[in-house]
Amino acid sequence: MSQELVAAAAAKLGIPEPLVKRSAEARAKAAGVSVEEILTAWAGGEAAPSGTQAATQAATQAEATAEETTPAAPEPEPAPAPAAAPPQPAPTPPPAAPAAPGIATRPAAVPVLEGRPDRPLAIAAGAVAVFLLTVFAGFAAVAAPVNDNPVYSSRVPYTSSALAGQEVYLAEGCVACHTQMVRPIVADADLGPVTLADTNQVLGRRRIGPDLAHVGSRVESADDLRAVLGGAGGHPRYALDDQTLDDLIAYLMEST
């Protein structure tokens, strides 16, 4: 170690020479370089070289020397280009399945939807026909006269007792609560045949009680009517003599 380098470094750094000497030895040991290199750098005002910088400089010098002494390797010849493959033929699509006999085939890519044609006139005609049949079944069929029951015709007269009973029927006001007229409507279908225009019965004004056009066919016997006229079943009781009561019952029984 040169004393001149220590003195120069101490003067440059402004610290005592012993401290410079110890610091240079410690730095050289840590960096892996010589003490003279550390002191030379400090004396010149430069930073002390590190081990990494020294190793890098050595490697650079070694590579430069190797390049100068090693002959250049010959350049490799370019590889020949591969021969072009022959063109492959396009794949042939599989044959389509044969269509069933009698079925027209269509392209699968163009689906066609087919529906039945609308027939609004036929639908309207069917609705009208159903309506007319309903009207006929509900009204016309019920109102059809019955030819084998001539009771409602004036051509078939009552007996003399029944005619007297008809007068009692009118006098006692039976027409205020009872009718003798079956109308051509569904509500009267269970009352019997529809009343004809030339009926010889009393049509009545209001139907508060049951219709009496067919009362003779709906009771078991004349005694049933006698009990009702006597007050049975909540019916008003009539104070009639026996003959008058018999005439009234005859009129009702012949109304069958």
Say what the pTM is.
0.42
Say which DSSP state 30 is in. H
Q: Pick the range with the lowest mean pLDDT from 58-62, 132-136, 209-213, 225-229.
A: 58-62
Joined tokens for residue 1: 């170690």
Ordered DSSP codes for 34-79: -HHHHHHHHHTT-PPPPHHHHHHHHHHHHHHHHHHHSPPPPPPPPP
* pLDDT, tens only, 21-70: 888 788 878 877 787 887 787 777 777 666 555 544 544 454 455 455 54
Span 4-20, average pLDDT: 80
Q: What is the pLDDT of residue 43?
A: 76
Q: What is the pLDDT of residue 117?
A: 78
Sign of CA dihedral 133, 136, 139, 141: negative
Q: Residue 102, exposed/middle/buried by CB under 10 A (0-12, 13-18, 19+)?
A: exposed
pLDDT over threshold 70, residue 104:
no
Comparison of pLDDT for 180 and 55, the residue scoring more: 180
- Residue 2's nearest CA partner among 39, 29, 31, 27 is 39
Where are the domains positioned within the chain?
Answer: 3-61, 150-254
Determine the CATH number of domain 150-254: 1.10.760.10
